[in-house]
Structure 1
Amino acid sequence: MLTVDFDRLGLQPGERALDLGCGAGRHAFEMYRRGADVIAFDQDPDELSGVREMFAAMRQAGEVPVGAEADVKEGDALALPFADGEFDRIVAAEILEHVPADLALLAELVRVLRPGGTVALTVPRWFPELVCWKLSREYHDVPGGHIRIYSDAELVSKAEGAGLVYDGRHYAHALHAPYWWLKCVVGVNDDDHRLVAAYHRLLVWDIMRRPRLTRWTERALDPVLGKSLVVYLHKPEAAGRAG
């Protein structure tokens, strides 16, 4: 399930791309399929082990263009082990809401992005996220959980303050917002609840089959109920090190 529109990001084969806070690697895998030289970066070695295995499986299955490369790197997003301007494209999906020092993370992100490079930032959208917080403290008040709710204006303002230029935004995953509201009502960890399990089966079916009806429905609902906010920005050609 992709949140970022890679055509909008401008990703081209052969470009150096960073999936910052890659988690299970969904965006890194898509960048690899598109022929980028990808680094999947995270602080969780178990997640990275799975991502590395998937990269190898993709290569073995011939799912990536000749010459495309991919690797994983473990570390701290506040002290990235990369050179200034090393990456053409960066994705930071659903990470900023977890990080107390979000401004420092943005400064590091800008540092390793080349002048003229682009970035996609995704966070939970304000209204669907606020509903989750109101329904369940357990949803966010856990170790490593969400520590803030971004408005569109706050996210753009912080990114611009770090030296990026705003290019546009969209919302995604409207069908997932009610699922999380339901989980918050019955218990965030109660995945076996019959209503939660039934909704989860619907989402898996939708992701795997991508029927026209649900695609059209979600596109119509995204502007109102989209669970994720996706912001696209670029680093000015004349920019030096931000922060």
Structure 2
Amino acid sequence: MSRPSAWRKLRERFSRRQPPATAVHIVFDSDTQRTGLIDAVKGGWFRNDSHELFKGFPISPDDVVLDLGCGAGGATLFCARQGASVIFTDSEAAKVEEVAEKVIQTSARESRGIVSDSLPLPLSDATASRIVALEVLEHVERPDAILAELFRVGQPGALYFLSVPAQQSEELQRGIAPPGHFRSPNHINVFSAEAFASAVQGAGLEVVARHCYGFFWTLWMMIYWTTGKAEGRSFEGATHDLLAPPHSPLLEEWARLWLKTISLPGGELLREKLDAALPKTQIILARKPGVPGAA
């Protein structure tokens, strides 16, 4: 279950952040990570002051959170630090083991790591009150079946935080990204906004809100493919395994330029407009019908 390594790492780093009253020094491996973190915060991620993993998706100690395709565990760790009970799954055992080691160090009420392809999920009906599946559905052969499983294990009234790459970004990368980026284990599905919403609603969920995010990452990926080809790099295998630092100097220059731009007066409005025009990620917040607690 893939997403860019730099993005995974910065999300994990920021999930450790304390409320604003506490000063914490964060060390970054690259300008890409630093800029990506700041861009994410401005885009609505990791709201420690309101305990929201993303704006409109609050986490409390009473919640049972399922993070399907947990990857490096950024979402799981944020929820664990809010005191929630966390269940995290991935098809790769090493990722589940790594996240499990980190969750132990948090204030999670309970935790459980599962190695699974999610068809079916080894969980009872109506298990979770919060369900997270970020950048997962584009990788799987049966996205509707995955969504059906997520619906099954959600409690009545459960909230869902779902994301897939935006069609605009995916189509822009065709011909620039290597062909393998659109083959397994990478992106075998490209969802239009309408198709994504239809799949979510087809599973029985009610769409609560929709968001776009990540203009910075769209251009970052375009520059990544271009500079990599110029350097004669091989792009075989899972894309997320290819994206770790050190990054090309041109990528780092782009990160510094973007940070300076969004830090200007009016930079926040520019970021919002560009995120809407050419997002890397499309997000749906959804709800399972029913009254919470009425499992």
TM-score band by shorter chain is 0.7 to 0.9
Matched pairs, number: 225
Correspondence 1:48-63 to 2 at 5 A: 48-57=96-105, 59=106
Query: Structure 2 residue aligned with 1:25, among 73, 90, 96?
Result: 73
Distance 2:264 2:94 in 1: 37
Tell me, yes or no, if the aligned pair for 1:77 and 1:108 is still in contact at 8 Å: yes
Aligned-residue Cα RMSD (Å) equals: 2.6
Distance 2:264 2:212 in 1: 19
2:8 corresponds to which residue? none
SS in 2 for 1:154: helix
2:209 corresponds to which residue? 168
Correspondence 1:136-151 to 2 at 5 A: 136-138=177-179, 140-151=181-192
Give 1:10 shift. 3.6
2:272 corresponds to which residue? 219
1:241 corresponds to which residue? none
Query: Structure 2 residue aligned with 1:231, among 276, 280, 284?
Result: 284
| 1:102 equivalenced with 2:143 (yes/no) | yes
Distance 1:42 1:129 in 2: 23
Distance 1:32 1:139 in 2: 35
Residues 219-240 of structure 1: CA distance to partner in whole angstroms, max 9, x if unpaired? 34221222110101111117xx
Distance 2:192 2:102 in 1: 34
Tell me, yes or no, if the aligned pair for 1:133 and 1:139 is still in contact at 8 Å: no
2:152 corresponds to which residue? 111
Give 1:198 shift. 4.1
Structure 1: gaps spanning 5 or more residues: 239-243
Tell me, yes or no, if the aligned pair for 1:97 and 1:148 is still in contact at 8 Å: yes
Distance 2:177 2:55 in 1: 36
Distance 2:97 2:271 in 1: 33
Residue type of the alignment partner of 1:44: E
| 1:12 equivalenced with 2:63 (yes/no) | no
Residue type of the alignment partner of 2:160: V
Residues 189-240 of structure 1: CA distance to partner in whole angstroms, max 9, x if unpaired? 586543235446x49x96xxxx8449725334221222110101111117xx
Correspondence 1:198-217 to 2 at 5 A: 198-199=253-254, 202=256, 212-213=263-264, 216=268, 217=270
TM-score (norm 1): 0.82
Distance 1:55 1:26 in 2: 10
| 1:45 equivalenced with 2:93 (yes/no) | yes
Residues 39-86 of structure 1: CA distance to partner in whole angstroms, max 9, x if unpaired? 1111111111211121123x3xxxx3xx62233111121210000010
SS in 1 for 2:272: helix
Distance 1:218 1:74 in 2: 37
Distance 2:166 2:175 in 1: 14
Deviates more, 1:94-103 or 1:175-184: 175-184
Tell me, yes or no, if the aligned pair for 2:126 and 2:153 is still in contact at 8 Å: yes
2:224 corresponds to which residue? 183
Distance 2:104 2:288 in 1: 32
2:250 corresponds to which residue? 195
Structure 2: gaps spanning 5 or more residues: 1-10, 12-39, 46-52, 229-234, 236-241
Give 1:93 shift. 0.2
| 1:88 equivalenced with 2:119 (yes/no) | no
Deviates more, 1:5-14 or 1:22-31: 5-14
SS in 2 for 1:135: coil
Residues 60-116 of structure 1: CA distance to partner in whole angstroms, max 9, x if unpaired? xxxx3xx62233111121210000010001000000000011111111010000111
Tell me, yes or no, if the aligned pair for 1:139 and 1:184 is still in contact at 8 Å: no
